[in-house]
């Protein structure tokens, strides 16, 4: 029902906000190695503001998701703010007709990935959030459409794919964002944005499993 969908989205954003607070120093440590040490603070501030912005909302899910995106744009900052916020805001349109279903969740994931690629210009192998996101979105879609798995199982497979994507960022050289300024010195470090993307997906899975 509409009410259940709304509850699920509100639970998900609360979980993500809490997780970002919990991982704040972890993400800051990762960003201090190859960036400017603000990724943890950026996301903890942004997702906490987003959760507060929609708390108790009785809007439709697409409106709630849109508001989350708008809030992230204004509160996160840096490179990741427009990428996370702008892409969530834009992808929220996929939920406007039918709300949240297996099909619209795939459409949302694909629209979100497309926006991140458009806005950031990164590709798989650039050592960014795209390295976690791309295999996750493809795995999610294939698991539902080809393997005919239930969405929660598909999401679990997507999380596993994102984990491998995060590990893949370690040995490669950054081509985008601040880490690219380090050139070869970025090798051997895990990308902060790929890591936060994994954390978000883990919280979406935990919500879906309830």
> In whole angstroms, what is the distance from residue 30 CA to residue 16 CA?
19
Among 69, 78, 85, 86, binds ligand ADP (CB under 6 A): 78
- With contact defined as beta carbons under 8 Å apart, do 10 and 62 qualify? no
Among 5, 28, 42, 92, binds ligand ADP (CB under 6 A): 42
Smaller CB distance to Mg ion: residue 80 or 105? 80
Smaller CB distance to ligand ADP: residue 42 or 92? 42
Among 82, 85, 86, 177, binds ligand ADP (CB under 6 A): 177
Among 61, 64, 68, 83, binds ligand ADP (CB under 6 A): 83
35 binds ligand ADP (CB under 6 A): yes
The two structure tokens encoding residue 136: 């996750």
Direct distance between the N- and C-terminal alpha carbons of the chain, in angstroms, rounded to an integer: 16
- Burial label for 4, CB within 10 Å (0-12, 13-18, 19+), is exposed
- With contact defined as beta carbons under 8 Å apart, do 108 and 96 qualify? no
Contact footprint for Mg ion (CB under 5 A): 31, 35-36, 38-39, 78
């Amino acid at each position: 029902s509409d009410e259940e969908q709304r509850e699920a989205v509100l639970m998900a954003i609360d979980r993500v906000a809490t997780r970002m607070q919990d991982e704040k120093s972890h993400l800051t440590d990762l960003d201090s190695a190859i960036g400017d040490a603000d990724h943890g603070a950026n996301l903890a501030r942004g997702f906490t503001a987003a959760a507060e912005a929609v708390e108790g909302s009785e809007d439709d899910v697409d409106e709630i998701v849109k508001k989350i995106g708008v809030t992230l744009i204004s509160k996160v900052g840096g490179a990741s703010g427009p990428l996370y916020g702008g892409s969530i805001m834009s992808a929220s349109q996929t939920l406007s007709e039918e709300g949240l279903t297996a099909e619209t969740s795939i459409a949302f994931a694909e629209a979100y990935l497309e926006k991140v690629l458009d806005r950031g210009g990164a590709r798989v192998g650039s050592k960014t959030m795209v390295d976690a996101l791309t295999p996750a979105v493809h795995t999610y879609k294939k698991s539902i459409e080809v393997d005919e798995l239930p969405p929660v199982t598909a999401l679990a497979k997507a999380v596993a794919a994102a984990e491998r994507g995060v590990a893949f960022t370690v040995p490669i050289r950054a081509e985008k964002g601040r880490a690219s300024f380090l050139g070869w010195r970025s090798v051997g470090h895990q990308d902060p944005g790929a890591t936060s993307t994994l954390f978000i997906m883990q919280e979406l899975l935990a919500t879906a499993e309830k």
